[in-house]
């Protein structure tokens, strides 16, 4: 295990919601919830203003609306989030060749491997400059944790939120971890946490006191040994630059169960097209086609078919998905459909169309061919045509975003990232002067430039009752954090 806090964990603050607030002046400082807005939707991200009301990620959207009825509820704009994420990842790759992305808004960085940090002071300077660069390039904030291991760096970034930096100095890890709840450790979810609580173990220090043998008795050999090691702050996992994708998939959950078999078939074809676009966008192909169907009673079925070689041909994937659907009874209704491709490769094998139509790895017996024409994605509802939060442009009023739509009307607020909060106007959903638009950049090109040089910030003294390893900075002045 290394002896300097040169592993960095970056976690962008309330990323999706922060992007929406940065692009919409009228929402800054307001409660914002991003996610699926249908009856079965869930919260993807909630702004810190919304979290005050108890709204959090993965919460059913209906519950979020009850907790925060006056919040702004927006449909995600994933292409925009991905483009901003890539700018952040470019900043990280400039620090080190060892960058391990965990999601669009989170990553580990081995600063020592990049030669930019070798001790506590140099690591802190790299973290401070990174946060300044992120703000300059994206207009957003991120929280940074620095430690000698991945586990501790992630814990540090959680303590740094929002918009801060926390360093855990080697040699003080166990004192810091001891009073923390067991749920702070990776792999301790609600079930394991409850199991430990029933055994009288609620803190990390109590895990150590219980001993390794007791942990193994309670949780099993693998989990017990691993959890005990983490409680002792032992984590030798390296930062891995490339995390190989195992599959590419897409799925949709429907507000109302689909009963019509023809409609189900068309949805599967549409999902197959989307899946192939994502596959090709990643420069991949795959051998195994997977269909996922969640029925009206919440039972979930999966069917798969393996080809002779990898493909990224939409016709092959559509045909395979259609045949797999033939083996599923959808009579009672369908609430979710998904299409995926696994067995990924970075090459394709030609002439697989006949194979897809004739050779199946699933033993379902012969199936009659049913060619289906490519399906264009065309929204059929006003809410799909004008998703809340998405960008529009009006011939007279310029750029704006959808506040909501229904009853044949769409309400638009006209503002841009660098404007004052704008005015609201309502139009017919078929107004010829109104059209969908691309998002505007959060930071103007002339404002980006290299981030200003950030001087070393002194750390305020830490009260004797707190571990000295907890030193952080956020929002400008450096502070100490428990």
Q: Which are the catalytic amino acids?
A: 106
Q: What share of the chain is helix, strand, coil (3-state, %, to 5)?
A: 35, 25, 40
Report the distance separating Cα 222 and Cα 236, nearest Å. 16
Report the distance separating Cα 276 and Cα 400, nearest Å. 32
Task: Tell me how crowded residue 369 is: count the other CB atoms within 10 A of its CB.
Answer: 11
Tokens standing for residue 327? 């083996």
> At CA 343, angle to CA 339 and CA 375, rounded to 5?
30
The answer to whether the beta carbons of residues 85 and 105 sit under 8 Å apart is: yes
> Nearest-CA neighbor of 44 among 68, 16, 21, 67?
16
Find all residues with CB under 8 Å of 198, minimum gap 6, and list them. none
The answer to whether the beta carbons of residues 283 and 248 sit under 8 Å apart is: no
Q: Specify the residue for token string 């060892």.
A: 98
> Nearest-CA neighbor of 20 among 78, 62, 60, 65?
78
Q: Beta strands 72-74 and 32-35: pairing type?
A: parallel
Q: For residues 237-247, b (16+ Cβ closer than 10 Å) or e, as one string?
A: eebeeeeeeee
Q: For residues 447-463, b (16+ Cβ closer than 10 Å) or e, as one string?
A: eeeebeeeeeeebeebe
Indicate the length of the chain as a whole number: 482
Instruction: Give Cα 394 distance to the centre of its chain.
Output: 32
Name the DSSP letter for residue 283.
Answer: T
């Amino acid at each position: 295990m290394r002896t300097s806090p040169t592993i960095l964990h970056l976690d962008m603050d309330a990323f999706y919601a922060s992007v929406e607030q940065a692009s919409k002046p009228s929402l800054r400082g307001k409660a914002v919830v991003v996610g699926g807005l249908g009856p079965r939707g869930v919260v993807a991200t909630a702004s810190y203003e919304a979290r005050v009301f108890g709204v959090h990620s993965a919460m059913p959207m209906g519950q979020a609306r009850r907790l925060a009825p006056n919040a702004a509820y927006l449909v995600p704009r994933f292409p925009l989030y991905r483009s901003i994420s890539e700018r952040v990842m470019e900043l990280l790759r400039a620090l080190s060749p060892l960058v391990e992305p965990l999601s669009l808004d989170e990553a580990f960085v081995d600063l020592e491997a990049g030669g930019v940090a070798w001790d506590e002071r140099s690591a802190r300077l790299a973290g401070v400059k990174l946060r300044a660069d992120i703000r300059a390039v994206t207009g957003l904030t991120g929280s940074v944790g620095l430690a000698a291991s991945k586990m501790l760096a992630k814990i540090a970034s959680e303590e740094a939120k929002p918009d801060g930096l926390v360093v855990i100095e080697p040699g003080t890890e166990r004192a810091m971890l001891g009073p923390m709840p067991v749920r702070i450790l990776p792999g301790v979810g609600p079930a394991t946490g409850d199991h430990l609580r029933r055994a009288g173990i609620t803190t990390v220090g109590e895990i150590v006191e219980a001993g390794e043998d007791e942990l193994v008795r309670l949780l099993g050999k693998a989990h017990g040994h691993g959890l005990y090691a983490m409680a002792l702050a032992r984590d030798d996992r390296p930062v891995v630059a490339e995390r190989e994708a195992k599959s590419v998939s897409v799925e949709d959950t429907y507000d109302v169960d689909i009963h019509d078999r023809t409609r189900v078939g068309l949805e599967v074809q549409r999902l197959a097209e989307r899946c192939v676009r994502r596959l090709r966008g990643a420069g991949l192909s795959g051998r195994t086609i997977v269909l996922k169907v969640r029925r009206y009673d919440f039972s979930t079925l999966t069917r798969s078919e393996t080809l002779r070689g990898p493909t990224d041909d939409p016709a092959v994937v559509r045909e395979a998905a259609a045949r797999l659907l033939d083996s599923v009874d959808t009579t009672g209704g369908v609430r979710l459909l998904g299409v995926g491709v696994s067995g990924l490769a970075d090459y394709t094998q030609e002439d697989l169309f006949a194979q897809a139509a004739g050779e199946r790895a699933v033993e379902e017996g012969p199936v009659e061919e049913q060619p289906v024409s490519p399906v264009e994605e065309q929204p059929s509802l006003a809410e799909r045509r004008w998703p809340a939060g998405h960008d529009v442009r009006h011939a007279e009023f310029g750029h704006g975003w959808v506040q909501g739509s229904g009853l044949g009307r769409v309400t638009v607020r006209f503002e841009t990232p660098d404007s004052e909060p704008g005015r609201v106007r309502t139009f017919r959903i078929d107004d010829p002067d109104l059209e969908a638009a691309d998002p505007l950049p959060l930071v103007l090109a002339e404002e980006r430039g290299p981030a200003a040089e950030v001087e070393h910030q002194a750390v305020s003294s830490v009260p004797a009752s707190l571990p000295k390893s907890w030193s952080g900075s956020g929002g400008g002045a450096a502070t100490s954090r428990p």
